[in-house]
Amino acid sequence: MDLRSVCVYCGSNAGSRPLYAERAAALGTRLAREGLAVVYGGGNVGLMGIVADAALAAGGKVIGVIPEQLVNWEVAHRGVTRLEIVANMHERKARMFDLSGAFVALPGGFGTMDEMFEMLTWRQLGLGDKPCAFLDVDGFYAPLVSMMDRMVAERFLHAEQRNDLWHGEDIDAMIGWMRAYVPAQADKWLDGKRRRELR
């Protein structure tokens, strides 16, 4: 696929260990060097600010999409290439989806999970067909991936959907996977037989 921009979901906190910040900066730098615009939540805090600053420092384009409420809390990054202020979280998610060719989650909390799982949910319903990756840092996402495997084993999630996402720690491998991505067929997922299989 012709990949031009990557949406980064990540913590509005920087996490407990310097490694999280290091990997966030490495991702921002790498995306910029690849000529890929960074789309993100527009904050100047935590891993979000670190990704944005690193991409900007490497000469990259950074588009922040932030709801008014967060601008009022003064957490908006004023140095990004473009800051889009939207009315609420729903608008923000839709706008980030439209602007992005792929999605990556760095470590984060509820906000990061919410955003990433919404993309995965849209995709399995056939509403989106863009690659989704969990860029792990020192096994942070291993328990979540185990949970997904359990969802498959217990027949709550189809293996095709589970296998349609990328999980790993190597940024180059992730970008290569995104560029080569061919979406799984949502109509296979939605046909009656598959639905019965999950019952």
In angstroms, the Cα distances linking 31 to 4, 82, 102, 131, 148 are 10, 17, 12, 15, 27
The least CB distance from residue 153 to ligand AMP, in Å, is 27
Which positions touch ligand AMP (CB under 6 A)?
Answer: 9-13, 41-43, 45, 48, 66, 70, 75, 108-112, 115
The least CB distance from residue 103 to ligand AMP, in Å, is 10
The least CB distance from residue 112 to ligand AMP, in Å, is 3
Compare residues 59 and 109 and give the one whose CB is closer to ligand AMP.
Answer: 109
Compare residues 40 and 166 and give the one whose CB is closer to ligand AMP.
Answer: 40
Compare residues 2 and 98 and give the one whose CB is closer to ligand AMP.
Answer: 98
Compare residues 95 and 162 and give the one whose CB is closer to ligand AMP.
Answer: 95
Q: Which residue is nearest to ligand AMP (CB)?
A: 111
Residue type, 80: V
In angstroms, the Cα distances linking 89 to 9, 66, 70, 96, 125 are 14, 8, 10, 10, 21
The least CB distance from residue 9 to ligand AMP, in Å, is 4
